[in-house]
Amino acid sequence: MVASEASNSSVAGGAFIPTISLGIPGDVAQAIMMGALILHGIAPGPGLFDREPVLVNSIYLSIIIAAVRVLIIQTLLLPFLARVTMVPKAVLVPCVLVLTAVGAFALNNRIFDMWVVLVFGVIGYILVKLSVPLPPVILGLILGGTLEESMLRALQIGDPSEFLTRPISAAFLLLAVASIGWAVYRSIRQTSRQPTGYETQSTG
């Protein structure tokens, strides 16, 4: 348990580096944090260190302080924190839903936001049942607006063919196509390896 939690904590620091320096979220949590920064008018990226040096240094300092405090708190309260896993889901899930709804309402003081949470919660539940991975959906929702603005700005500046002629953009597009093709290939390969009902009965 200690090893898994230590690796989980180390992932957060590693994922934080490309989020702040390049504006590319390292994981889902960093994508959410990046979306929060964009909502406050702060665009993560290389220029953030020049525009907001106080903010960047404050983030670094908060990470160091949080690491020390987590070590102390977990050392002292580990026996009590472990009992959280014993809380029944019938109690834990309603508490999480209530806190989520309150947070959504407190953002703009609108009931409509709570309905949005409910609708997307149902959609997320359906996607989980269909075995659809949720991190790409979350990244698309958070970064979609920024991607659209950047693409429109690039189209206004130059010719659309530059997306394919420039080495950096062409390389990223090639990587995107390759990743999609690899995912499709793996899915087809796993499906073909699964035994059919007739083969299972013959084996039995």
Kindly indicate the confidence band of residue 18, based on its pLDDT and cuts at 50, 70 and 90.
confident
Summarised one tens digit per residue, pLDDT across range 130-180 is: 887 777 777 777 777 777 877 788 777 777 777 778 888 888 889 889 988
Q: List own/partner pairs for 137-142 with CB under 8 A and 24 or more apart.
A: 138/28, 138/31, 138/32, 139/25, 139/28, 139/31, 142/25, 142/31, 142/32, 142/34, 142/35
Res. 38: pLDDT tops 60: yes
Kindly indicate the confidence band of residue 4, based on its pLDDT and cuts at 50, 70 and 90.
low
Contact 25, 11 (CB under 8 A): no
Res. 199: pLDDT tops 70: no
Cα 167 to Cα 155: distance, rounded to the nearest angstrom: 17
List the one residue out of 44, 77, 72, 70 whose CA is nearest residue 59. Answer: 44
Per the prediction, the chain carries an average pLDDT of 79
Q: What is the mean pLDDT of residues 21-32?
A: 76
Q: List own/partner pairs for 172-176 with CB under 8 A and 24 or more apart.
A: none
Q: Which of 80-84, 124-128, 168-172 has the lowest mean pLDDT?
A: 80-84
Helix axes 28-39, 2-21, angle to 10 degrees: 40
Summarised one tens digit per residue, pLDDT across range 175-197 is: 889 988 888 888 888 877 766 55
Cα 199 to Cα 58: distance, rounded to the nearest angstrom: 61
Q: What is the mean pLDDT of residues 3-29?
A: 73
Kindly indicate the confidence band of residue 5, based on its pLDDT and cuts at 50, 70 and 90.
low
* First-last CA distance in the chain: 39
Res. 204: pLDDT tops 70: no
**What was the pLDDT predicted at 48?**
79
Give the length of the chain: 204
